Structure 1
Amino acid sequence: MSQERRYFGTDGVRGKVGQYPITPDFVLKLGWAAGRVLAQQGTKKVIIGKDTRISGYMLESALEAGLAAAGLNAVLTGPMPTPAVAYLTQTFRAEAGIVISASHNPYYDNGIKFFSAHGTKLPDDVELAIEAQLDQDIDCVESGLLGKASRLIDAAGRYIEFCKSTFPHSLSLEGLKLVIDCAHGATYHIAPSVFRELGADVIAIGVEPNGTNINDEVGATDVRALQARVVAEQADLGLAFDGDGDRLIMVDAKGNKVDGDQIAYVIARNEQRRGTLQGGVVGTLMTNLGMENGLKELGIPFQRAAVGDRYVMEALVENNWSIGAENSGHIILLDSVTTGDAIVAALRMLTAIAESEQPLHELTSGMTLYPQVLENVRFSGETDPLQHEKVLAAVAAVEVKLADKGRVLLRKSGTEPLIRVMVEGEDAELVQQSALDIAHVVKNNC
C-alpha cells in the first residue's frame, strides 16, 4: 500500500461495538463519506447485507442514513453471507455493496466492508478517498435528491439458486449424510436449503441466532461440536461456516478437522485430474509447508501472498490463476465467484468426493500437514514488539532449533489488536514449546 490507512484494515473497518470507530455517529459519517465518493463515480444504488449480530440493526440504520444524506439509495437484504452480497451487487446491477459483519469475531465486535460493482473489494484509491472524505464536515443533498431505502425480499432465494448452479448437473448429493454448522450466523437460513435441495440428508446445527451467540463455540472457528455430531450421527462429513459465510472448515467421517490448506489441495488436485486447473494455487505466509510440498509433488505451481484474502486475490489476478486459500478457511475460486465463498467451496469439495468416489479422509491423505501452532498475544502498547531486541532474539533462537525443518512467523493481525505467533515444524513438541516461549517474550514486551 502506498499510503497509510487510518480506518480500513485488510477486511474493511472493524472493532468493538460502542468504541470508536464502530459507533453510530462514525458509521453514519462513514456511510455519508462512502456515498459522496461513490456518487462521483455515478453510483446511485448500494446493496447492504449483514450477519446476525444484534448490533447490525443499529449500524444498518446509521449506514442507511449516511448514504441517504449523500443521495444514494440503499437496498437492504437482511442477514446475508458476505459472498452473497458480492454476488447480489453484480446481479442486481448495484454500483456497490456493503456488508455489516465482523466475520469470525465474537458478537460484541462488528465491522463494515465494501464491494465494488464487480463483487470485489474496493480498490485502494477508493478506500483512501473515503478516508479523506471523512475529514470533511457532513452535509446533506437537497431534499428532493435524498436517497431512499428498499428491501430485496428474494435475496436468499437468489443466492441459493446461484450456489446450486455451481454444482454439476450430472451429480447428486443423494445418499450423502451431512452435518452443517452455520455458527448461528448469516448462512443459517441458506446453507441447509442448498444442500438439501441437491439431495443430501442434512443435519443442521448453529442455526438459531439470537444476536449474541454468533461464533460462540460453533462454526469454523470452533469445530468441536461439529466433530462430536458427525461421529454421533455416523455422518459422511461435516461442514462448518463462520459468522458471515466466507470461511469453510470440514470434518471427515472419523471426526478429523480438515482446514483451508487441505481443502485447497483437494480442489486443485481434482481440477488437475479433470484438466480444468487454471495455473496454480495461491496461499499465504501462514500456509502449511505440507500443502506446498503436496502441490509440488503433483507439479502444481504454488505462491505465497501476505495474510488476508485481498492479497490472495491480488496474486490470483496477477497470475491469472483461479484457486486461492488461507488455512483459516477462506477459499477463493475465481472461476465461479469474486470473493471467498464457503458454500461454493463446500460444493466444489463435494464434487471432488463424488467424482473420485473417495471419502474425505482419503482425499486429504495425499498431503501431510506439519505440526503448526498459533498463539495470539493481545497488543495494546505504542511500541512495536516485533522489533524489540528480546523478541528478535527469541525468534532467532527458535529458528536455530528448527534448522531447515520448520519456520517461525510473527505478524500483526489486520482485523484485531493481536500479535500472531506461528511456529511450524516436524517435531510437534518442539513446535508447541517454541510458540509458547516466543509468545511469552512478546507479551512481556508489548
Structure 2
Amino acid sequence: MERFILNNLIEWKNSKYRKPLILKGVRQVGKTWILKEFGKNYYKNFVYFNFDENIEYLQFFQTTKDPRRILQNLMLISGEKIEAENTLVIFDEIQDAPEVINSLKYFYENIPEIHIACAGSLLGIALAKPSSFPVGKVDFLSINPMTFSEFLIANGDQNLKSYLDSVDSIENIPDAFFNPLCEKLKMYYLTGGMPEAVYIWTHERNTELMLKSLNNIIEAYEKDFAKHPNIKEFPKISMIWKSIPSQLSRENKKFIYKVVKEGARAREYEDALQWLVDANLVNKIYRSSAPKLPLSAYDDLSAFKIYLVDVGLLNRLSLLSPSAFAEGNRLFTEFKGALTENYILESLENQFETKARYWTDNIYEVDFLIQHENQVIPIEVKAGINLKSRSLKKFTEKYKDEVKLKIRFSLDNLKLDDNILNIPIFMADYTKYLISLVLKKI
C-alpha cells in the first residue's frame, strides 16, 4: 500500500546532513514494513536486525562503542554485506536497547556514510526516559495511521484522490465527486488507518475480519500497558484508556479525571495519562487562553482534551455497530461528533508543525486552533449540516483584530463565506493547501 512518508524517507536518504534515523509510531502502524520497502526499492540491499527476536545481538553493543567493530560483528552473524551509501541498516525493536540507541551517536560521528534507520514499539516511552541519549546526533520521523487520502488509493479510488489533487480554487465540489467521497469517508471511519485493517477491507471486503483486526490491535495495546515500570500504574492506564469514548461523548470534551473513576484526582492519574501520550496512543491538546503567537505560550496546562491516535480504533473502543454506515450521516454525528473531531485532529497533526489547541469561554468552545505561518486560525467542526457557529462568532467578536481567516469543517460544500472557509470533512487532508489558496485571494 502506498504510504506518503516514503517521500520523507527519500529526502532523508539524499540529505547531505543525514543522521541515523529514528522512526516513531504506535505498534502495528507499519514502521517495519515501510523501512523494508524503502530499503528494497531505494538501496542496493538492506540488512535487518530485530533486537527483540535476537536478544544476543545486544552484546555487540555492550562490549564496545566502536561502530566499525559493531558492524563487523553484525555482518558476520547475518552473513550480509554492509556497504557505505548502498546498504540500509535497519535496527528494529530498540525500545529496550539503550546501548543500541546510544551507539547512534558514534555511528554518526565516526562512519556517517552508513545509512541507519531504527524503529520500535513504545519507542516514545523509551525516549522519554532519563537515560544516555544521542542528543543532536539523530534524525526523527513519525509514521501515523494511514490518512484518508492513502485509504482512497488503497481502496482503488485513485480517481477520487486525483480529483482532490486537481482542486485549485475555492468552489463547489460536483456531486459526482462529493457524494462518493462522503461514502468512502464513512468507510474510513470504520476501518481507520491501521494498515492491517485497511488491507483486510480493501482486499477481502469483509467487515467481520476487519473488526477482528482492530480488536486484536486494541488487545495488543492493552497488554502493553503492563510494560509501565511501575506496575501499580497499569490499572490506571487501562481505566483512562477505556474512559476515552465517555470523555469524548460529553458536550464539553475537556478531560475530567472523575470520568475515569469517581473521586479520582489529577496527581494520582497524571503519570498514567503521560504514559499514553508518550506511547503516542493518545493526542493531548491544551486549552489556549488567547489566540496569540506562539500558541504554546498561552497554554492552560490545567485544561486539555485527549483523542485517540486513530478514528477506527476509537470506533472499535466505543463498540459502535458497523450498521451505522448505512444510516445516513449517523457515523459523522455519533456521540457528539467525536469521531469527526478525532479524524480532523489526526489530519491536522499530519500537516502542521505546531500542535493544535482549543479555546473556551464559558459556554462557548472553538474545537481547534492552529498556527499557520504567523497566524492563528480558529477551527470549528460541524459533524452535520447545521452550520450555525455561535462559538466561532463569539471568538471573532472577542479577537476581531487577530482573526483574518476562520475554518469550518462540515458536510456542506467547499466555499468561502466572507472570511469563513467551509471545508468538506473529506478534504481535511488538504487543509494547509486550501488555507494557502484563500490567503493568496484575500
More helix by share: 2
Q: TM-score, normalised by structure 2?
A: 0.33
Asked which structure has the greater CA Rg, the reply is: 2
Q: TM-score, normalised by structure 1?
A: 0.32
